[in-house]
A = this chain, B = another copy of it.
Amino acid sequence: MSETQPYHHGNLRQALIDTGLNALEESGLEALSLRALAESLGVSKAAPYRHFKTKNDLLAALAAEGYQLLADLLENSEEALLGLKRSQIPGEMYRIYGDFALSRPELYRLMFSRLGNSLHSERCRRNAERAFACLGKLAAAIQGDIPDSRKLILSLYASLHGWVMLLMDDLIPPEVGVTTENWRSFALIPKDT
């Protein structure tokens, strides 16, 4: 007989998150089912409930993972960005953020859905705040310190988020000539208060 699987999976919780992230991007949020996830991990349909009280709790965990990935990405890029010429910072910053969102559109969408958004868990909120802090430092580097800078960062963030969403949804009429490659040069950069 072939090796039988051990009764306990070992690290089912993390495996569900990892497989969940893959399945999410491959088949979309609608197609993601706990049962299918469990089966693909060689585990019974009810096993996931030992680790997540409901399906939504798993989705929230996926979103939390997304916020952490984003925060890590921005923190790791910060130093390099701050070393650039001031005029080059915005474009590069938009590129990094946009590449993240457009390379994982389903995850990004989940992060900004009711289910996944940052207010639902302490971990989400903390990582969202980390990402926000990075954007803040970069905005400050772009234009020096300004009063009410958090509002200005929000403006910049709203523009960034809006662009990414429009691109993800293919809502940019093709004849306008804005693509996932060149959109940064058309995105608004805050100039003054």
Majority SS of interface residues in chain A? helix
B157 touches A162 (CB 8 A): yes
Please indicate the chain B residues that have their CB under 8 angstroms from the CB of A191 in the complex. Answer: 191
For A111, give the chain B residue with the smallest CB separation. B169
Complex interface: stretch among A15-23, A78-86, A147-155: A147-155
How many residues from A make CB contacts under 8 Å with B?
39
Which A residues, 105 to 119, have Cβ-Cβ distances below 8 Å to chain B? 109, 112-114, 117-119
- By a CB distance below 8 angstroms, the chain B residues around A69 are none
Q: 15 A-B pairs, CB-CB below 8 angstroms?
A: A112-B169, A112-B171, A117-B169, A117-B171, A119-B171, A151-B177, A151-B178, A154-B176, A154-B178, A155-B188, A158-B163, A158-B187, A160-B162, A161-B166, A188-B190
